[in-house]
Amino acid sequence: MVAVQDSTSPSHYLAEKPSSSFSISSAASATSAGTPRSGGSRLLFGEIDTTSERSADSYASVCNLVLSDSSTFLRFWLTDECRDPLISLLPASDLANLRLVCHDFSVRAAPALFSDLSITFKPNTFTKPSKQAALQRLGFHVKKLTFNLPHTKETFLPPLIEPETGDELSYTYIPRIQPLAIRQPRYGDWETTEILTRQYPPLFHAATNVDAFVQAFSAFVNLSHLAVACPGYAPSMRYRRSAVDFALTSIRIAVERNCLNSLDTLTLSPVHPGAFVSLTPLLGLGATPASTRRWARIKHLNIHADNLPPDTDNAEQLKLLQAYLAIFKRNLKSFNFQWNSYKGPLPIHQSRASAQTKHPALATPRPSSAPDARPKPHQWQTGLYFPHLRQLEMENATASAAEISAVVALHKRTLEELNLQAIDLTDGTWEQAFAPLVKMAAKSQKVTTEVAEIPIMLSPTTGAGFPRSLERVEVVEQTATGRRSFRASRWLGKLSQATPKTPLLPSVAAGLATKKMKSGIIGCENPVKRVFKGIPWM
């Protein structure tokens, strides 16, 4: 197993999570490793046998503190702002040696050392209990997991031969998720199980052990990035069975059966053409109704696929690839695709011929009541639509200007970054390919308007209104002393308008009216006398 490190190099394990672990000396670790309570797992210096009968107080007094005579070093090590940058800059080999110093160093260096874990699949990767226990201890820190499945001579499987007649046997693989009983055959019946056990290598039996994969992936509770690499593929082995395909099926089932809520990034680099058969849950190999929803949570997808030579027909490969990409349509935000060795077509563009020959099992009907939010393309524009796609990168492909224009037109509302590397145009120009983006930019320029503040001044005559009909015009008379005189009717009207809105006491109101009348009569004695002339009491 290379889940932690190779067998030739010393393995470094973590006992428990940092929040719940204590300290222990190297002697106690060595003693506990040899006891049956250790469960077959090897414990290193500074680790604890959780099944030991020693008290927690005795553990805390041994290595819980960093023993150093330098107060400067202690102040540096116990400060998070100083210690964490140092640990992040150390290489993996130094971090592994740092964990051997004491328990505190082991706990502090574990998250940085095991955040990026690489596993090379071998027959005993997930079968030994000690390695499963090691994954349970360090899997809490794993953020990115790289699973290497190289194509070698041992991975390709020979044909099954009937021992008595010498005829070739056909075998259909059915994944078994539940643990098998003691007296139950592993591969259907006893005869098939015996033939597979004798003729197939141990790598095949390790790849079909789905329960071991499910148990191993249950330790990666904080996994956010899963990378699968299948290097060493040869096109001449296209139609041969390989243990790599069975291991890919087990990986897919393990991801679907575990609650990996943080997983949002998937990388397949490199991957052979037949891998999409094992990775697609729609084909039904151990899939459940929730399998597609599990993979639909992926937001970032990176695929570097091996392409077949130009003289071979790759139509079936393109159909399988497009059926696999259709699973991620719901939440995919960034997509990076590259053809290895030979140039191939655009994976997200679908020609009319391939659309008509699509297998009915891969069709995803939409309810008639639900409205379609996708912008309706032209008749010649068919392809996969990702409603939340923001970043698209294609490399080493061949396409026409119409195909690129169709892809851009479908995603122009959400696409923020488009990167095309080593793309050969079979027809048209790049101006025609990016025509939808140019039209959108020109349309946005036409809509822009200029806003400015312009002051407006009105003349006094414009604002003055004309006298209304039947309105009493005020007559102003200038006396010899320079005081203006008003008509009594107008003056009495002003008195009525000047009355306060709030009610006043009778005595206060009478005094206010008398004061106003006295101030208004000054200078207007003669007009008042003419108004009240002829009254007996005057």
- Cα 326 to chain centroid, rounded: 17
Domain residue spans in the chain?
Answer: 80-355+380-444, 479-538
Which of 201, 210, 191, 116 has the alpha carbon at shortest distance from 157? 201
From residue 343, how far is each of 195, 228, 318, 334 by CA, in Å? 41, 22, 13, 21
Please report the sign of the dihedral spanned by the C-alpha atoms of residue 395, residue 400, residue 403, residue 407.
Answer: positive
Tens of pLDDT along the chain (538 residues) come to: 334 444 434 334 333 334 333 333 333 333 333 333 344 445 444 454 555 555 544 444 444 456 677 888 888 888 889 988 999 898 988 988 888 888 888 888 888 999 999 999 999 888 888 889 989 988 889 999 999 999 998 898 888 888 888 888 888 888 887 765 567 788 878 888 888 999 999 999 999 999 999 999 999 999 999 999 999 988 888 888 899 999 999 999 999 999 899 999 999 989 998 899 999 988 767 888 888 899 999 999 999 999 888 877 778 888 899 999 999 999 999 999 999 988 989 998 765 444 444 444 445 544 444 444 444 444 334 568 999 999 999 999 999 999 999 999 999 899 999 999 999 999 888 898 888 888 665 555 555 566 767 676 666 654 455 555 444 545 555 555 555 554 545 545 555 555 555 555 555 555 655 565 555 555 566 666 666 665 555 4
Q: Which amino acid, one-letter code, is at 114?
A: F
Angle (CA) 119-18-55 rounded to 5° is 120
Q: Using CA atoms, how far apart are residues 219 and 16, in angstroms rounded to an integer?
A: 12
Burial tier of 369 (Cβ tally within 10 Å: 0-12, 13-18, 19+): exposed
DSSP, collapsed to helix, strand or coil, labels residue 393 as strand
Put residue 84 in one of left, alpha, beta given phi > 0 → left and psi -120 to 50 → alpha: alpha
415's enclosing H/E stretch is none
Q: Using CA atoms, how far apart are residues 535 and 383, in angstroms rounded to an integer?
A: 105
Q: Using CA atoms, how far apart are residues 247 and 212, in angstroms rounded to an integer?
A: 11
Q: Using CA atoms, how far apart are residues 115 and 146, in angstroms rounded to an integer?
A: 11
